[in-house]
């Protein structure tokens, strides 16, 4: 994929045939006076086209449940990824809300890290691996007599 987001001929709302090249994978901030086109560029052009392309890539069955966005008034956009938009007015009033919780991607990331991640000891940095019950018993029996230790395990209340 291109390393730039290329926009040619953006005319959405008050944008006047704007041509722009933005670096991908960087933090970009749009600033300016009220009415200068910040929201028109960010929400009504870039986000709208990214969302529209994403929805187009879904099956016809999935698309029937989603609203189709209109194509923004732009000649050409290249290097665009699927987009998520969080409007500053629509965020939760919960001070603990994050981009992940608002977009509901947090739970999926948690699952990804739990399944694909490799846990490490927070003290020594060594990878943590699963042990059999016999390995645990052998490790405890190898301790000096009188050594204190804790046995910790999750409590399963109900199974699905």
Kindly state whether residue 69 falls inside one of the protein's structural domains. Answer: yes
CATH number for 57: 3.40.50.300
First to last CA, the chain: 42
Residue 13 domain flag: yes
Torsion of CA 134, 136, 137, 141, to 10 degrees: 140
Q: Classify residue 27: in a domain, yes or no.
A: yes
145 found inside a domain: no
- Number of domains forming the structure of the chain: 1
Flag whether 95 is in a domain. no
Q: Does 96 reside within a domain?
A: no
- Sole residue written with tokens 């009415």: 35
pTM of the model: 0.60
Q: How far is CA 70 from the centre of its chain?
A: 24
Q: What is the pLDDT of residue 89?
A: 65
Per the structure, the complete domain to which residue 35 belongs is given by 4-87
Residue 98 maps to a domain: no
Q: With respect to residue 97, please indicate whether it lies within any of the assigned structural domains.
A: no
Instruction: Compute the distance between CA of residue 91 and CA of residue 81 in angstroms, rounded to an integer.
Output: 23
Task: Please report the pLDDT score of residue 66 as a whole number.
Answer: 78
Q: From the first residue on, what is the mean pLDDT of each consecutive set of 10 residues in the chain (160 residues)?
A: 90 94 92 92 92 85 79 94 74 76 84 89 92 94 95 84
**Encoding tokens for residue 31?**
């600033």
Catalogue the E-assigned strands of 24-128. 76-78
Contact status, residue 53 vs residue 30, Cβ threshold 8 Å: no
């Amino acid at each position: 994929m291109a390393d730039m987001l290329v926009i040619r001929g953006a005319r959405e709302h008050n944008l006047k045939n704007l041509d722009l090249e933005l670096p991908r994978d960087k933090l970009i901030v749009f600033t300016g006076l009220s009415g200068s086109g910040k929201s028109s560029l960010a929400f009504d052009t870039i986000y709208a086209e990214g969302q529209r392309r994403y929805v187009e890539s879904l099956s016809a069955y999935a698309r029937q449940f989603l609203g189709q966005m209109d194509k923004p008034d732009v000649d050409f956009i290249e290097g665009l990824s699927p987009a998520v938009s969080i409007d500053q007015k629509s965020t939760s009033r919960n001070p603990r809300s994050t981009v992940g919780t608002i977009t509901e991607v947090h739970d999926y990331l948690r699952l990804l890290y739990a399944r694909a991640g490799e846990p490490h000891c927070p003290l020594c940095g060594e990878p943590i691996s699963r042990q059999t019950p016999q390995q645990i018993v052998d490790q405890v029996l190898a301790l000096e007599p009188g050594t204190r230790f804790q046995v910790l395990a999750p409590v399963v209340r109900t199974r699905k």
